[in-house]
Amino acid sequence: MDCKNVAVIGAGSWGIALAYRLSSNGHNVTLYARRLESADRLKADREDKDKLPGVYLDEKINITSDMEEALKDMDIIVLTVPSVEIRNVCKKMRPYLAGPEKKQIIVNCSKGIEKDSLMLMSDVILDELPGSEVTVLSGPSHAEEVGKNLPTTIVVGAFSKEVAKKVQDVFMSDTFRVYISPDMLGIEIGAALKNVIALAAGIADGMGYGDNAKAALITRGIAEMSRLGNAMGGRFETFAGLSGIGDLVVTCASMHSRNRKAGILMGQGLSCEEACKQVKMVVEGVNSARSAYLLAQKYNVEMPIVEQINLIIYENKSAREVAKDLMLRDSKAENDVIDW
């Protein structure tokens, strides 16, 4: 494997975990932190004791808060900032990117839908950085486990197979298996909507519901995700894969999931705002819930779980009312594709 110069933009838990993974693979890694104090603390401790305790960054990983330094002579740029920050970060990156002859690859790891435009993250990146070689990385992959070298499998989507294979080769290791896919849209829809469904799963946990409810939310959640994704042009097979059902299962079931944590707190009676404050990290499902609902309306797709989560977040509807209304919806067939 050729050694690459890789910039990881964003020093949250996922950025730290991927910087660790890429450095372990033998690449020259620069990790960019937005705040100088964060960069200085990481340089001194080589660990973020709050976000990712126990994951140590090798001394050879360069840590900086200078965007120009972070992007200089890079082959691959990995974006791990929250989805609400993607557009602003791309604006800051623009003056320091190499020209099209360099063919720098941007790997987007942010999961969400832009609030006002309803654009997916790859489209936001292309809007700010036209002509970029944009790819997306997603799948069931908690930073806490990646940083501990626990087996993880993800998928990379790209416009061309050649570029997808380049990213695959850079990330692949004996504990980090990478598949490739041409369905970038499907991967990104799955990545964004699974966070909304995970909020619902967490709410059910917080209310004391059992495994039956969790299984139902996961199953009907993947149905909603795939309906919207198919309507937008994604492939059903993608939602049955790692970035669909795979990511949904891990996000709904694990206490590593900030979306599930926030949901649990909401199920216990806290407001959305109070729950997010307690989690102390960006809860992407809250950011994506409204956008998902608006996309469902735009494409005339039925998404009852997403609709009810919006009522909890934005109209203070009680979780018990939501559960009752979901259970008492009009009776229907499970699948309208299978005929009698």
Q: Is 111 a catalytic residue?
A: no
pTM of the complete model: 0.92
- Span 193-327: which CATH code? 1.10.1040.10
User: Which pLDDT tens digit goes with each residue over 12-50?
Assistant: 999 999 999 999 999 999 999 999 999 999 999 999 998
The domains of the chain are located at 5-182, 193-327
Residue 115 CB burial class (10 angstroms; 0-12, 13-18, ≥19): middle
State the residue for tokens 């920050």. Answer: 85
Residue 1's pLDDT is: 63
Is the pLDDT reported for residue 107 higher than 90? yes
CB atoms within 10 A of CB 9: 28
Buried b (16+ CB within 10 A) or exposed e, 120-130: bbbbbbbebbe
pLDDT of residue 191: 93
pLDDT tens across 61-102, in order? 999 999 999 999 999 999 999 999 999 999 999 999 986 667
Buried b (16+ CB within 10 A) or exposed e, 145-173: bbbeeeebebbbbbeeeebbebbbebbeb
Classify strands 133-138 and 152-158 as parallel, antiparallel or unpaired: antiparallel
Catalytic residue among 51, 194, 214, 261: 194
For residues 173 and 254, what is the distance between their CA atoms, to the nearest angstrom?
24
CATH topology agreement for domains 5-182 and 193-327: no
**How far is it, in rounded angstroms, from Cα 203 to Cα 257?**
13
Separation between Cα atoms, residue 103 and residue 97, nearest integer Å? 10
Q: What's the pLDDT tens digit per position in 193-225?
A: 999 999 999 999 999 999 999 999 999 999 999
Which residues, in sequence order, are CB contacts of 307 under 8 Å at separation 6+? 293, 296
The band of 113, judged by pLDDT with boundaries at 50, 70 and 90, is very high
Q: Which amino acid is at 253?
A: A
pLDDT at 291: 94
Specify the amino acid at residue 207. M
Q: What is the CATH number of domain 5-182?
A: 3.40.50.720
d(CA 30, CA 141): 21
| Distant-in-sequence, close-in-space partners of 155: CB < 8 Å, separation ≥ 6 | 137, 138, 139, 178, 179, 180, 181, 187, 241, 242, 243
How many beta carbons lie within 10 A of that of residue 214, not counting itself? 18
